Amino acid sequence: MSEHRGLQQWVQEINDLCQPDRIRWCDGSQAEYDALCALMVSTGTFIKLKTATRPNSFYCRSDPADVARVEDRTFVCSRTTDEAGPTNNWRDPDEMRNVLRGLFKGAMKGRTLYVIPYSMGPIGSPISKIGVELTDSPYVVCNMHLMTRVGTKVLEALGAAGEFVKCLHSVGAPLERNQADVAWPCNAQNKYIVHFPDTREIWSFGSGYGGNALLGKKCFSLRIASVMARDEGWLAEHMLILGLTSPQGERKYMAAAFPSACGKTNLAMLVPTLPGWKVECVGDDIAWMKFGPDGRLYAINPEAGFFGVAPGTSMSSNPNALLSLRQNAIFTNCALTPDGDVWWEDMTATPPPQLCDWLRRPWTPDCDRKAAHPNARFTTAARQCPVIDPAWEDPKGVPISAFLFGGRRGTVVPLVNEALSWNHGVFLASVMASETTFAAAGKVGQLRRDPFAMLPVCGYHMGDYFAHWLKIGGMSALEKLPRIYHVNWFRKNGGGRILWPGYGENSRVLKWIFERVSGKGAAVDTPIGRLPAAGALDLTGLNLPAAHTRALLEVDVKGWLDEIPLIREHYAGFGSRLPAGLTAELEALEKRLRG
């Protein structure tokens, strides 16, 4: 129980509305986690995995109609539709509250109302924020245990009058007296994930899955936090954070934003191929950044765990992710092996001879279907990552020297490009695009703009978001701001072959960026930015054909000129809120390209 009167009153208000059988305040202890896992084993939600293989790990399957974030049922209820902007689904906040109150009335009958006090970021950090999630799902409680800092210590930090984000969640499946429950309760046909940025509230109804239900994830850490960051002068970004250490022991930190299927988690846990270089992970998905007393931007990972897409994760693509999952993990919608372990596509070079798929059906390699759902997930604590950075929980954060932005582009965009200025870097990030894969909606190979990789998760008008980034650039001395880079691991030749080997070889690009921010790396000025000078990119031992190197680092003037009208069309969507500074950057780019 908390001494915070406002929190007590809110819990009582929700108790009266949702009518649960009981209230349980979560203390964040291991005993609490173990008890709730045991409860879910008894109800059929969890299957305990073989202890000898994955100690204290569990497997579960969701309802087939509740398998992913539902963007079309995700709403931002700002005061006006103009504040939400063209990239968000807007509803009038008063009208939406009336709808939600009707849905939540009696929604927790027969269930327990869990009160989850949690800290986004190290408890007590000046960059951290506190949230309280009220939920009727023990699955949510256990995942929040792994993904955030939960419990009594958070209530102590909150004190009697601290600010917190109100997060209300229900699976929307009340139980009548003596009604049997199901393994995965949800209200699949009636989902709402609703954000009230002006009052710092999140209401989620009907789904028990992922970011729909773990409200510290995208809902708080990006949609609500981006508004808080705008109002308070900091950054809440969809970025990994990594520490890169040279053979001489010098360490620099970088943050990077990529759309889905562009290697974000792989980069966060990279195993460098360059001798003596080391990458350590601060975070794989979210970065919150504030200016320190020295004028530099310091970042924390507001999360305490990884909630990653399982398919495609392997010892060849991301060994450190797999090693993080050896114990104390939750697996959702993967396949199950006969000996009590999990499997998913590409986890091993050869699939097992038989499995039970995520829909409980027998599966063999000759089946014409996937064994795991494409959005199957793993949850585990970040502290289990073998390359977790020693400063990942430093309350003051880590100093960021470089920002990386990039997408999946077969043409036009070179391997690496340093922005000419802060404003030019913001421009590059604002027009960032990626060719879609099966991981994103739409036709495969279609170019989709995803500014700053924030398109679905910015909680306000993106024109204002661009303006906020430009404003951040004026809040400190230029030499103390991170340099901005655009990268592209996916450039292809005329035959459709990807030219760059990627994965651990990306450390070569990181090394050049490291040298640039250290004042050592050589670069040449081009119309689109600064590219590595001849010999500046360390290709030792790579045996990359010279023609590939030239193609990776060429400035495709015609391709960029062809992009100009597409960028203008993209910018037109933001109307009068598009900052004039970005229009100026576009015009300057066209002038440089035309010589």
Which amino acid is present at 268?
A
Closest CA to 116 of 34, 27, 205: 27
- Give me the residue label for tokens 């103390």: 480
**DSSP letter (8 states) at residue 577:** G
Sheet holding 305-309, edge to edge: 47-48, 58-60, 329-332, 377-381, 305-309
Closest CA to 66 of 203, 226, 186, 204: 186
**DSSP letter (8 states) at residue 45:** S
- Give me the residue label for tokens 């998760």: 457
- The encoded tokens of residue 350 equal 């050869």
Burial of 108 (0-12, 13-18, 19+ CB in 10 A): buried
The Cα–Cα gap between 116 and 213 comes to 13
- Cα radius of gyration rounded to whole Å, the chain: 24
- Please, what is the Cα angle at 358 between 112 and 28, to 5 degrees? 35
**DSSP letter (8 states) at residue 223:** I
Give the pairing of strands 377-381 and 305-309.
Answer: antiparallel
Closest CA to 125 of 390, 385, 303: 303
**DSSP letter (8 states) at residue 284:** S
Q: Which residues pair with 61 in a beta bridge?
A: none
Inter-axis angle of helices 580-594 and 462-472, to 10 degrees?
80
The Cα–Cα gap between 273 and 261 comes to 22
H helices of 327-461, in order, are 422-430
Q: Is 142 a catalytic residue?
A: no
Q: Say which of 60, 77, 262, 334 is annotated catalytic.
A: 262
Q: Which residues pair with 489 in a beta bridge?
A: none
- The encoded tokens of residue 191 equal 């989902």
Sheet holding 335-336, edge to edge: 342-343, 335-336, 355-356, 362-363
The Cα–Cα gap between 97 and 77 comes to 9
CB neighbours of 479 closer than 8 A, spacing ≥ 6?
none
- The encoded tokens of residue 24 equal 């349980």
Which amino acid is present at 272?
P
The sign one gets for the Cα dihedral 447, 448, 449, 453 is negative
CB neighbours of 279 closer than 8 A, spacing ≥ 6?
242, 243, 244, 245, 269, 270, 271, 272, 387, 507, 510
The Cα–Cα gap between 204 and 100 comes to 9
Closest CA to 388 of 269, 281, 267, 239: 281
The Cα–Cα gap between 185 and 213 comes to 12
Closest CA to 512 of 497, 503, 524, 527: 524
Q: Determine the 3-state secondary structure of 11 from DSSP.
A: helix
- Known catalytic residues are 262
